[in-house]
């Protein structure tokens, strides 16, 4: 180190864990060219028995994480086994994966199953070596159960295979309620279930909590209009 230089690692006086006033008053300078396209959208992930996040010997292990917990895939925040959400948007796509025994890997996402098949055929790939999974994605906003504050950063929650039934049931409940999709509050919980072979795994259960008050509804509506309105 040259004379006069200070060690950043030792000079703890230049940083603070609390957000200082001069930062709060900032205008987000330097981020003028950043849009949603330049950010990673977190996904809400439900941990299973074989999830890396519950394996203490894995690099992706999250301290304290348990099977059935919901986590943020970007921040790695663990929300436990239940949380409150506003369901803002829904879409269905077909995701193509190369089978694990054939090397694995994501091939792509397509609007229809036929388009997925056509892509494989056009690329000269053996269809039998790939899985085409119908995937339903819900865009969700987390609501703080204590303060009622709505997060301005959404989650994407993907439902395929074992979660498709619950996804359809959730859509049915929303449709029966009427109003905008984001008009009500939902509680999502982890529940243990089993497949036809008797293998146990974690799935979700959703229940309606009630209609959003106008202030909270307007926050959700504003997010919808900014993100999805007038977009195909």
Mean pLDDT calculated for residue range 81-98 = 96
- How far is 80 from 71, CA to CA, in rounded Å? 8
Whether residue 6 lies inside any domain: the answer is: no
Summary mean pLDDT of the chain: 89
Q: Report the CATH number that the domain containing residue 140 is assigned in CATH.
A: 2.40.50
Whether residue 139 lies inside any domain: the answer is: yes
Whether residue 34 lies inside any domain: the answer is: no
**pLDDT tens digits for 173-195?**
999 999 999 999 999 999 999 88
The residue whose two tokens read 């899985």 is 131
Q: Provide the pLDDT for residue 112.
A: 95
Q: Provide the pLDDT for residue 13.
A: 65
Q: Which residues contact 23 (CB under 8 A, 6 or more apart)?
A: none
Whether residue 40 lies inside any domain: the answer is: no
**Range from 30-39, 59-68, 218-227 carrying the lowest mean pLDDT:** 30-39
How many separate domains does the chain show? Answer: 1
Burial state string for 74-109 with b = 16 or more CB within 10 A and e = fewer than 16 = eeeebeebbbbbbbbbeeebbbbeeeeeeeeeebee
**Residue 165 three-state SS:** helix
The residue segments making up the domain with residue 217 are 81-227
**Range from 16-20, 71-75, 82-86, 175-179 carrying the lowest mean pLDDT:** 16-20
The larger pLDDT score, comparing residue 41 to residue 131, is at 131
Q: Provide the pLDDT for residue 195.
A: 84
**pLDDT tens digits for 34-51?**
766 666 789 999 999 999
């Amino acid at each position: 180190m040259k004379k006069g230089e200070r060690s950043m690692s030792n000079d703890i006086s230049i940083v603070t864990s609390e957000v200082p006033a001069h930062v709060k008053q900032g205008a987000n300078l330097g981020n003028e060219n950043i849009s949603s396209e330049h950010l990673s959208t977190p996904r809400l992930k439900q941990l299973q028995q074989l999830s890396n996040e519950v394996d203490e010997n894995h690099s992706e292990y999250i301290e304290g994480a348990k099977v059935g917990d919901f986590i943020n895939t970007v921040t790695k925040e663990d929300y436990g086994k239940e949380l409150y959400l506003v369901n803002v948007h829904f879409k269905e796509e077909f995701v193509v994966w190369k089978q694990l025994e054939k090397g694995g890997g994501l091939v792509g996402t397509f609007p229809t199953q036929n388009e997925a098949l056509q892509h494989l055929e056009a690329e000269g790939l053996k269809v039998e070596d790939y899985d085409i999974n119908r995937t339903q994605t819900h865009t969700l906003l987390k609501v703080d159960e204590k303060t009622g504050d709505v997060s301005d950063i959404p989650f994407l929650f993907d439902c395929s295979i074992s979660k498709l039934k619950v996804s359809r049931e959730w859509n049915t409940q929303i449709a029966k309620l009427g109003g905008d999709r984001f008009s009500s509050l939902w509680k999502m919980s982890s529940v243990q279930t089993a497949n036809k072979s008797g293998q146990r795994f974690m799935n979700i259960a959703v229940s309606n909590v009630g209609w959003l008050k106008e202030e909270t509804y307007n926050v959700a509506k504003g997010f919808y209009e900014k993100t999805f309105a007038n977009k195909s």
